[in-house]
Amino acid sequence: MPTWVIVLDYIMGTIMWTLIGRSAMNIFQREDSNFFFMKAFVMLTNPIIRPFRFITPSFIIQPFVPLYVAWFFYMFRFYLMPWLLGYSVMGMLSFPLESEFTDFILQLFTKKF
């Protein structure tokens, strides 16, 4: 796989998981909370969410807007990336970031001591 594909997928995957993390953290914290991690999530994801406000339906409640935007990144990674690369099937090739993370976790827990 070309290096630019892996780098692009890592960037898109990081953005997607950060948006999901913001939505999850928003269950326990308000967006204007003084908690450091919530401030960081809001600061990092607001510039990403802002361009999507024109296509975000008004009926979506505010805590779920980051999740809605993350869905677009997921769709891009799962459908558009493999199509642009010429793959006829989708699967592990669609998500190099998650594939490497899964391999790391598998190696971590299957080590024999």
Q: What is the pLDDT of residues 1-34, one digit of tens each?
A: 678 877 888 899 899 999 999 999 988 888 888 8
pTM (predicted TM-score): 0.77
| Spatial distance between the Cα atoms of 19 and 75, rounded to a whole number of angstroms | 14
Residue 46 has pLDDT above 70, yes or no: yes
Separation of alpha carbons 53 and 26, rounded Å: 18
CA–CA separation, 12 and 34 (whole Å): 28
Number of helical H runs and strand E runs in the chain: 5, 0
CA dist 95 and 81 (Å) reads: 9
Neighbours of 8 (CB within 10 A): 16
Instruction: Determine contact, residues 38/23, Cβ cutoff 8 Å.
Output: no
Instruction: State mean pLDDT over 101-106.
Output: 82
- For residue range 57-82, list pLDDT tens digits in order: 999 998 899 999 999 998 888 877 77
CB atoms within 10 A of CB 65: 20
The predicted structure's pLDDT at residue 20? 94
Would you state the structure tokens that stand for residue 93, as one six-digit string?
């090739």
**Max CA pair span of the chain:** 54
Domain ranges of the chain: 3-109
Quote the pLDDT of residue 55.
92
Confidence check: pLDDT of 89 > 70: no
